[in-house]
Structure 1
């Protein structure tokens, strides 16, 4: 499998403070990574590299075969799908229109821009596949948070990306809406099998069942990285969050709870 994302010994400094320390990561097509860690671990900074939004202070970043610093960033960003539940839309666009803004890479529809019939058809197909059939004409302010989440996934996929970034997509969702969104994300393994994805969260319960790999960060450093089953463990999660956390895995889903310290070691 070919790599769609490569970080090599990346460090990042802001106002003299080192935020990331020699982080390396390789994501191949079809892999689904979870980026985990406590608040302030550096997850958002890493995601900024993945989305071609941030340049490293030292080290190298290659996204979809292009090295940051040697490529036109706006064109590269349009080939990356990005799901952010804090999407700053203020206009009462319809679901279809929101999805179509994924083609233009804008929050609102550009003036005088008109989608081609094939683009409208692709948007409607995604709307149906992702469980929003019959809602294409409904307007953004009337949608539930769960419906908005699925619309944003469709928006990210309409440009046919090879890399999909999901920035804490379950933010603000109740349990039912979260589970519906995770089912939608799991469905992408069948509908878009070649797309690689990176999902950022600090809650193990928010990991889709189709997660294949994980990167655990703490204090801007990699605690562990690799296949999800050997990375998201009691010992590694406890180390990353600096607290004894007992990790459980059942039916493809993870859960976590506080564990007791035993003889000064993690259970």
Structure 2
């Protein structure tokens, strides 16, 4: 199988598009995403980063209303990572009625234009009570829930990515900042 066929398979079965038109759309998406040069290669010869970018092209060519990107920058070199983040940011900025869900462990991998966040983690009961007193908008169901995977915040990204919240979740002193739409977090000990 070649990458062009993989991307074309993202176009819904039963679509009114002819095979030629589907392949044309697939190739256009690969071009937009910077991977058209891979179209004729064999799938098993692609690097992990190339496969990731092809699979993201496949997701984007589909007519799906919900796109889920699970750690889309894993295994990518710096150029590949920045390409993925730039294109996801462009897609988010278009506001084309599609919902995009991005799963990541790195705040640096959140593309500009993503405006809401659901954070999962663990808080001690004491931290949870202090946090709930200071931030009454947080779900009341958090009261005392220290289970890993608990949603500790859901809402606007600027309200979610704070020094206090991330420090509480990870148990280390952190500084979070946003520059030109991109997020960054660093240990305070590294900032000194």
TM range (shorter): 0.7 to 0.9
RMSD: 2.2
Among 18, 29, 40, which residue is 1:137 paired with? 40
Q: Unaligned regions of 5+ residues in structure 2, if any?
A: 122-147
Q: Unaligned regions of 5+ residues in structure 1, if any?
A: 1-92, 106-114, 261-267
Tell me what 1:116 maps to: 19
Bigger share in strand: 1
Deviations along 1:89-120, whole A, 9 cap, x unmatched?
Answer: xxxx2110111232479xxxxxxxxx723222
CA contact (8 A) 2:93 2:113 kept: no
**C-alpha deviation, 1:223, in angstroms:** 1.4
Higher relative contact order (CA 8 A, sep 6+): 1
Q: Rg: which structure is higher?
A: 2
Bigger share in helix: 2
Tell me what 1:208 maps to: 111
Tell me what 1:98 maps to: 6
Matched residue count: 159
SS class of match (1:185): helix
**C-alpha deviation, 1:145, in angstroms:** 3.4
Among 215, 236, 239, which residue is 2:168 paired with? 239
SS class of match (1:243): coil
Q: What stretches of structure 1 move > 6 A for 4+ residues in a row? A: none
Distance 2:39 2:80 in 1: 19
Distance 1:164 1:173 in 2: 20
Among 63, 74, 81, which residue is 1:171 paired with? 74
Distance 2:36 2:90 in 1: 15
* TM-score, reference length from structure 1: 0.54
